[in-house]
Amino acid sequence: MGLANRLPISLLRALALGATLAAAILVATSREKVYLFGLTLEAKYSDTPSFKYFVITNIIASVYSLAVLFLPLAGLLGQVILALDVAFTMLLTSSIGAALAIAQVGKKGNTAAGWLPICDQVPRYCHHVEIGLILGFVGLIIYFVILLYKVLNISSFLSKS
């Protein structure tokens, strides 16, 4: 793969690394403690399995992005990396979906289940998580763009031969 093709992919991978790492750090450090009517209410990411999944997935995607930045993309390794890109895109999609579902319940509640919204009581926590989810979504979009770029390069290569 020539420099003209490697440079955009490397830039996109660096951006994906930054977005996924920032998302993981923001959600993992989100915590707020409030006192209501003599009771202590503490909201933290580790109370929710979906947020744990989101953080772990984004950390793994960050490590993968960093590792792939330094690997050659030619031959069989390039094909393995393409397959891993597909897998990580799907993994990030599932983690953001799970985290967004829980975030929606935290923000709006669920009257049918009797779950009250918590974001009125812990707004700093919810804002922290919201920014983390936005960054995670940005990382997912970048991974999707990487996939599109690679598929277009493969299809143009196949049409030339």
Q: What is the pLDDT of residue 41?
A: 83
Residues of the chain with pLDDT under 70: 1-5, 155-161
Rounded Cα–Cα distance for residues 20 and 24 (Å): 6
Rounded Cα–Cα distance for residues 58 and 55 (Å): 5
Name the strand (E) or helix (H) holding 143.
Answer: helix 123-160
Q: Which residue has the tokens 């409030």?
A: 34
58-95 pLDDT, tens digit per residue, is 999 999 999 998 887 777 788 888 899 999 999 999 99
Q: What is the pLDDT of residue 4?
A: 66
Q: Which two tokens stand for residue 97?
A: 């979906």
DSSP 23-64: HHHHHHT-EEEEEETTEEEEEEGGG-HHHHHHHHHHHHHHHH
Q: What is the pLDDT of residue 45?
A: 87
Q: What is the pLDDT of residue 118?
A: 85
Q: What is the pLDDT of residue 87?
A: 95
Q: Residues 7, 60, 135, 111: what is their CA dihedral angle, to the nearest 10 degrees?
A: 150
